[in-house]
A and B are shown apart, each in its own frame.
Chain A
Amino acid sequence: MSVMRWVGLVLALVAASLLAVAVGTVSISISALWDALRHVGDTMAIMVVWTLRIPRVALAVLVGAGLGMSGAALQGTMRNPLAEPYLLGVSGGAAVGAVLGLMAGLGAALLPLAAFAGAIVAVVAAFFVAHAAGARGDPRVLLMAGVVVGAFANAAIMVVMANAEPNTVRNALWWMMGSVSDATWQQIAILAVYVLVGGGALIVVGRQIDVLALGEDAAAGLGLDVDTAIRRVFFIASLLAAATVSAAGLVGFVGLVVPHLVRAAGVRRHRELLVGSAITGATLVVLADLLGRVLRPPSELPLGAVTALIGVPFFLVKLRRLV
């Protein structure tokens, strides 16, 4: 993709982030915003900008980048344009972890840990199920194992919630709809580490994904240890997704839609696709959060709901082109 387009992508992200910091329930003029960013002027504006909006935007950027890269890596590895980051039961497992954590009364600090633990357990279980079924790294078997684990997790959530207090149910439902409103700098720092390390690792093995995208026999013919390479990508991509879920709940459709958008802009090789998906995913989530905040004051639409509403028309368009 041409340099101009890359510059455009980055500029879009910067513009979206600035917009998201500038716009909100509290009206802040441009000059007041400029002052607030430099920590001068109206205290309320400074507090709103630095304590409320900037953390949200930062978390949204990381969540979008993580999900975008995870989706791009999984689609290439599975050779399936419909693959997405929650593939291996990550969403179901994280939700079980979060619901159990809420029932145990975990506070805002420990809840992400519970969600993360649940996600990892689900991914490991999916690998285990696939291994027990006798497939070495066959992505189709892993995919089915992920579906099984995810379905089991959903059933577990229903069982737990049926007997839970109304407050727990409300908490759990809110968590599952996804949100960056509880962004803390600690969460942002932790997620940043995951996104940088995990995303970096995926970019490093990006050429392997190019080769895997040709098919397993062809990839083996080019000298790649196919089973190990697939397992590696699945694990890193799932870890990235689990980290975003633990920080922001379930934000669907981003990992599914973003790689398609980047490919439509003419990016074909996976190293570039991963970088493009990180940038585009970040932009998408920042904008989705902004929309959620301004569409229906005084409350906000959950982030996962907004991304789902964006994802559906996208797929209708895609389906029409396919047919």
Chain B
Amino acid sequence: MPVFRFCSFVAAFIVALAGCRPAERTPPPANALRDDYGTPITIGRPPQRIVSLNPATTELLFAIGAGPRLVGRSEYDVFPDSARFVPSVGAALRPNIEAVLATHPDLVILYASQDNRPAADRFREAGIQTVAFKNDSIEQFARDARLIGRVTGDSARAATLVDTVMATLARVRAATANLPRPTVFVHAWDRPIIAIGGGSFLSQLLDIAGARNVYADIAAPSATVTLEDVVRRNPDYVLASPVSAPKMRASASWNAIPAIRAGKLLVYDTVLVGRPSVLLGAGAVSLANLIHPGAVR
């Protein structure tokens, strides 16, 4: 019994250490013919039965008009609302292979994480076109959206979508360009305390919205931090979800952060800025208006 617990401690410790590697080995950037696993993409007939295992790509597919051709999604893909009518085939990470195969897809879109590689191999062995994208940043969104548009035969609409989003982002950036840039701590999780790091699209949105992420020096999309470290970095604002904000306001230890004591705890729309996808532009606008009220129309 002590042996089991010792092993779990060691395992958990290793996991924790592993989680703190700055970034996963970055795959070769997806050029016109490769996905984020480095696998070549062939452009053929537009697929008619698409399974998307990623909230961002599901939302994207609906936005470029491929929604009706979706026959499966992962369980937490609920944007836009019409996505709920697409049957769920289970988890996005380590997907349920059989459930996906049961929908007889001709295209499967995965999130390009390390633990999805076995699933990707399995789908390819079954003769299904499989593409994996790691849309963690705005640039990746732009590139992946255009690629997905080519694969599904909706290049024109994809291009328009990307252009619109980028235009909005540029507009927001211009509107906040000359405003003072406060530092911001974005609270993503409570136990342990997880901060949004420099590698996340959310950090990029903050930059566009005229603020500076107080953890921008961390290359990973997120990092586990201590309360004392946040106090040391002394952000001007703290962004938290609607659920966490009241608890943090009421907590004595969170009030050690001067920003929270001074009432500068802002609630951000976690749904709107939750995915690096179609709503990136709207997300940037909401963040900008949160930090610089009235700056963006």
Known A177-B9, A302-B16: A25·B255 in contact at CB below 8 Å: no
- Determine if A26 and B6 form an interchain contact, defined as CB atoms under 8 angstroms apart: no
Contact A300 B5, beta carbon cutoff 8 Å: no
Closest A residue, CB atoms, query B8: A176
Given A176-B8, A299-B223, A299-B226: A48 in contact with B1 (beta carbons within 8 A): no
Within 8 A of B (CB), among A16-62: 24-26, 43-44, 47-48, 51-53, 55
Give A179 to B253 CA distance when docked, in angstroms: 15
Asked if A276 is at the interface of the complex by the 8 Å CB criterion, the answer is: no
Given contacts A25-B229, A308-B9, contact A174 B2 (CB under 8 A): no
B13 in contact with A312 (CB, 8 Å): no
Q: Is B228 an interface residue (CB 8 A)?
A: yes
A84 at interface by CB-CB < 8 Å = yes
**Which residue of chain A lies nearest to B20 when distances are taken between CB atoms in the complex?**
A299
Chain A residue numbers with a CB within 8 Å of B297 are none
Residue of B nearest to A165 (CB): B76
Whether A305 and B13, one on each chain, are in contact in the complex, defined by CB atoms closer than 8 angstroms, is: yes
* Chain B residue at minimum C-beta to C-beta distance from A51: B256
Question: In the complex where A299-B223, A300-B226 touch, is A174 in contact with B192 (Cβ < 8 A)?
Answer: yes
User: By the criterion CB–CB under 8 Å, are A252 and B191 in contact?
Assistant: no
Please, what's the 1-or-0 string for B254-289, where 1 marks a CB less than 8 Å from any CB in chain A?
Answer: 011010010000000000000000000000000000
CB atoms of B5 and A296 under 8 A apart: no
Question: How many chain-A residues does the 8 Å CB contact rule pick out?
Answer: 54
Contact B20 A296 (CB under 8 A): yes
Shortest distance in angstroms between A246's beta carbon and chain B's nearest beta carbon?
15
Report if A91 contacts B (CB, 8 A). Answer: yes
CA distance A70 to B10 in the complex (A): 24
Counting CB contacts under 8 A, is B45 at the interface?
A: no
Give B209-247 as 1s and 0s: 1 = Cβ < 8 Å from A's Cβ atoms: 000000000100001111111011010000000000001
Closest Cβ neighbor of A143 among chain B residues: B1
Whether B12 and A52, one on each chain, are in contact in the complex, defined by CB atoms closer than 8 angstroms, is: no
Closest residue on chain A to residue B17 by CB atoms: A296
A184 CA to B224 CA, complexed, in Å = 21
CA of A82 to CA of B3, assembled, Å: 12
Tell me the smallest distance from the CB of B226 to a CB of chain A, in Å: 5
Within 8 A of A (CB), among B168-208: 189, 191-192
Contact (A150, B1) CB under 8 Å given A177-B9, A177-B12:
yes
| Set of chain A residues within 8 Å of B15, measured between Cβ atoms | 173
Contact present for B191 and A305 (CB under 8 Å) = no
Decide if the interface of chain A is mainly helix, strand, loop or mixed.
Answer: helix
Q: Out of A48, A55, A167, A302, which one reaches B228, CB within 8 Å?
A: A48
Quote the shortest CB–CB distance from A296 to chain B (angstroms): 7
Contact (Cβ within 8 A) A52 B256: yes
Q: Is the CB of A24 within 8 A of B192?
A: no
- In the bound assembly, the distance between CA atoms of A185 and B253 in angstroms comes to 10
A301 to B13, CA, bound (A): 8
Residue from B218, B223, B224, B256 within 8 A of A48 (CB atoms): B256
Q: How far is the CA of A108 from the CA of B193 in the complex (A)?
A: 13
Tell me whether A51 and B9 are in contact in the complex, defined as CB-CB below 8 angstroms, given that A171-B191, A256-B2, A298-B223 are known contacts: no
Q: Who on chain B is nearest to A172 by CB?
A: B191
Task: State whether A308 and B256 are in contact (beta carbons under 8 Å apart), knowing that A24-B228, A296-B20 are contacts in the complex.
Answer: no
> Is there contact, CB below 8 Å, between A297 and B229?
yes
A43–B258 contact, CB under 8 A? yes
**Alpha-carbon distance A171/B16, docked complex (angstroms):** 13
The contact of A26 among B8, B16, B93, B232, by CB within 8 Å, is B232
Q: Which residue of A24, A25, A252 has the most chain B CB atoms within 10 A of its CB atom? A: A25
Contact of B225 among A44, A176, A177, A299 (CB under 8 A): A299
Interface string of A63-88 (1 = CB under 8 A from B): 00000000000000000001010100
Of A52, A82, A305, the residue contacting B231 (CB under 8 A) is: A52
Q: How far is the CB of A252 from chain B (nearest CB, A)?
A: 6
- In the bound complex, residues from chain A placing their C-beta under 8 Å from that of B227 are 52, 181
Q: How far is the CA of A154 from the CA of B7 in the complex (A)?
A: 13
Q: Closest residue of chain B to A150, judged by CB?
A: B1
